[in-house]
Structure 1
Amino acid sequence: MIGLVRLLGLLPLGLTQRIGRGLGWLLWLRRTRSREVARVNLALTAPDMDTAERDQLLKKTLLHNGMTGAEMGVFWGKNTIDVLSLIRRVHNAKLLDDALADSQGVLILAPHIGNWEQLNTYLSNRCQITIMFKPAKNPLFDSWMRQRRQNTGATLVPTTAGGVRALFKTLQQGSVAGFLPDQEPERRSGVIVPFMGVPTLTPRMPHELLQRTGARALMAFALRRPDAEGFDVHFLEPDADIYSKDADVACTALNRSVEQVVAMAPEQYQWTYKRFKRQPDGTPSPYKAAGVP
């Protein structure tokens, strides 16, 4: 896997994305886990969408999913200057500038859309950032992946108690922390609130980080431009209720903020992730019900 990523890193972005689109076509043509998970997710979140339109979105999703995988070589195999040169425009950069100029901490909330590795490189070039990540199952690949990501200047902490303490400390010191707000937590670490009209186990950690540190939150993401033109980085203010003292209200606002991001490029969102696996008590997993492989 490491050798393949390195090989892809030798190729120009256009060729890498064409390879990724080919991988996406394979995911679309066969009854793969990725295709069926995305099919279930889109049926749940867009029940009123015409079936043909939904299938078209599903196909585009898998093509972008393939490109995201193939682009790993670009972001982990090239130097920082080359990666930054792929950014064509930064939207609402003043939001980040103002947040960094303030003495309070900044919590960057980065949904799984476009290519978050491009976003990581941009942010690491702008500021010292501590990012929570889920370690890979293979220790060798995990070590290599962590090294490549930290080469950009980011500090990575795992999804453990120690990692959580590191995020709190970072924000309390007035620095920048990054968190992926659309990953499903353990039941004890989340609340079930709506996401795109579906009851969804949502991480409570952003709420706790903001309440206990007084940090400011920003939504951030990097979207893929057409025809291998590169990427645009975006910053958005989250829903104001994200600062509510009530965890349910704050987590609902977090999900509304992610919805706003997804609406900008739904085909680039990671619909292939089992976001709705843990439903309220007594409700079966929609993936099991659909016989997802």
Structure 2
Amino acid sequence: MLSYWAVKLLSHFVCLLPHRAAMMLGAGLARLLWPFIPARRKRLAQTQIEHCLHVSPAEAARIARESTLRFGPMLMEVLRFPVLRRHIEDYVTITGALHMMRASLAQGKGAIIATSHSGNWELMGGALALAGLPIVGVAKRQSTAGMDRFINEYRALVGMHVTYRSSVREMFRMIDQGWIIGLLSDQDPSRRDGVIVDFFGQETNAFTGAAAIARRCEVPIFPVFMHRRADGHHELTIEEPLYVEKTDDRAADVLRVTQDISAHIEAWIRRYPSEWFWLHDRWKSMREE
């Protein structure tokens, strides 16, 4: 558990800093670590950007670098959860269909959030929870027990309930109890767990969890995204809900809504391309197949 106490100590130090100084520290650390990112990963990100956005190699390289360097300030914000949670409105403004999300919950059942690795998604979950929404973060188990304990402890600190991807029955139960399940829907799953959709004009394997769970539980899906403004303040946008039409063809129902979710994610990435996680190998399973 050495890693846990090391990160806790770092968090304590970062919380003592003024917010601006902490963000500058994060940005500086990210720039220092950029040369150590494997060259093949940088090439992968640049190639994906060129194919998706049809920009020049120089512009693709710039976007790839910016999308990676943003992880420095993102890390500082997570480490500063003990401070940010006291006055979250100073750091995050929620816009869009918040009233529709609250109205949906008022009917006695939960909902699903479909989001992406754009902006600070950890801060997004915390901001929604601190706004009084019953948020369940669906987590990937970290490679070390110490880091897993730390990140889940800090998610709980800002009011989130945490479950793991394998706990599908728990998700069903919590939706029925009125909770909102947050799902990252933009990464490449196994072919067994995905369907083929159009994403940036390419055949892409997409995660079906949001559509499948929404169909089973008969709840709406809210696309939700984060954007960091130039002044460092975050805008959290809740888009109008998607609904899964339940027909006799389950596969077609899930595919149709998964395509809709992918279209919303693509539109947001096109709007803020340097805020998406381009280092992820989004088309790996398609190449292997």
Report the TM-score, using the length of structure 2 for normalisation: 0.85
Residue by residue over 1:126-147, the C-alpha shift from the partner in whole angstroms, topping out at 9 and shown as x without a partner, is 2222221101111012112111
3-state DSSP of counterpart to 1:273:
coil
1:132-143 to 2 correspondences below 5 Å: 132-143=138-149
Please state how far the C-alpha of 1:69 moved relative to its aligned partner. Answer: 2.8
3-state DSSP of counterpart to 1:71:
helix
| Residues 129 and 158 in structure 2, CA contact (< 8 A), matched pair in contact too | yes
Answer with 19-28 or 122-131: which moved more: 19-28
Please state how far the C-alpha of 1:104 moved relative to its aligned partner. Answer: 3.6
Which residue pairs with 2:284 in the alignment? Answer: 277
Q: 1:58 to 1:98 in 2, by over 3 A?
A: same
2:225 to 221, 236, 241: 221
Q: 1:51 to 1:122 in 2, by over 3 A?
A: same
The reply on whether 1:198 has 2:205 as its aligned counterpart is no
Mapped partners of 1:207, 1:122: distance in 2: 24
1:254 counterpart letter in structure 2: I
Please state how far the C-alpha of 1:279 moved relative to its aligned partner. Answer: 1.0
Which residue pairs with 1:45 in the alignment? Answer: 52
Which residue pairs with 1:85 in the alignment? Answer: 90
1:63 to 63, 69, 78: 69
Mapped partners of 2:66, 2:17: distance in 1: 23
Which residue pairs with 2:3 in the alignment? Answer: none
Residue by residue over 1:226-255, the C-alpha shift from the partner in whole angstroms, topping out at 9 and shown as x without a partner, is 133x21111112566787841322222221
2:122 counterpart letter in structure 1: E
Residue by residue over 1:16-50, the C-alpha shift from the partner in whole angstroms, topping out at 9 and shown as x without a partner, is 2222322343455566355334223213312x212
Q: 1:248 to 1:79 in 2, by over 3 A?
A: closer
Mapped partners of 2:214, 2:220: distance in 1: 7
Which residue pairs with 1:105 in the alignment? Answer: 110
| Residues 207 and 242 in structure 1, CA contact (< 8 A), matched pair in contact too | no
1:229-240 to 2 correspondences below 5 Å: 230-237=233-240
1:160-171 to 2 correspondences below 5 Å: 160=166, 163-171=167-175
3-state DSSP of counterpart to 2:116:
coil
2:99 to 94, 98, 103: 94
Structure 1 unaligned residues grouped into runs of 5+: 283-293
1:11-30 to 2 correspondences below 5 Å: 11-26=17-32, 28-29=34-35
Mapped partners of 1:175, 1:132: distance in 2: 12
Structure 2 unaligned residues grouped into runs of 5+: 1-5
Answer with 165-174 or 83-92: which moved more: 83-92
Mapped partners of 2:32, 2:202: distance in 1: 29
Report the TM-score, using the length of structure 1 for normalisation: 0.84
| Residues 192 and 280 in structure 1, CA contact (< 8 A), matched pair in contact too | no
| Residues 226 and 237 in structure 2, CA contact (< 8 A), matched pair in contact too | yes
Aligned length: 277
1:224 counterpart letter in structure 2: R
2:158 to 152, 160, 173: 152
| Residues 176 and 217 in structure 2, CA contact (< 8 A), matched pair in contact too | yes
Sequence identity, in percent?
Answer: 23
Mapped partners of 2:100, 2:246: distance in 1: 17
3-state DSSP of counterpart to 1:194:
strand
Mapped partners of 1:215, 1:89: distance in 2: 22
Residue by residue over 1:142-170, the C-alpha shift from the partner in whole angstroms, topping out at 9 and shown as x without a partner, is 1121111112221111121xx11111112
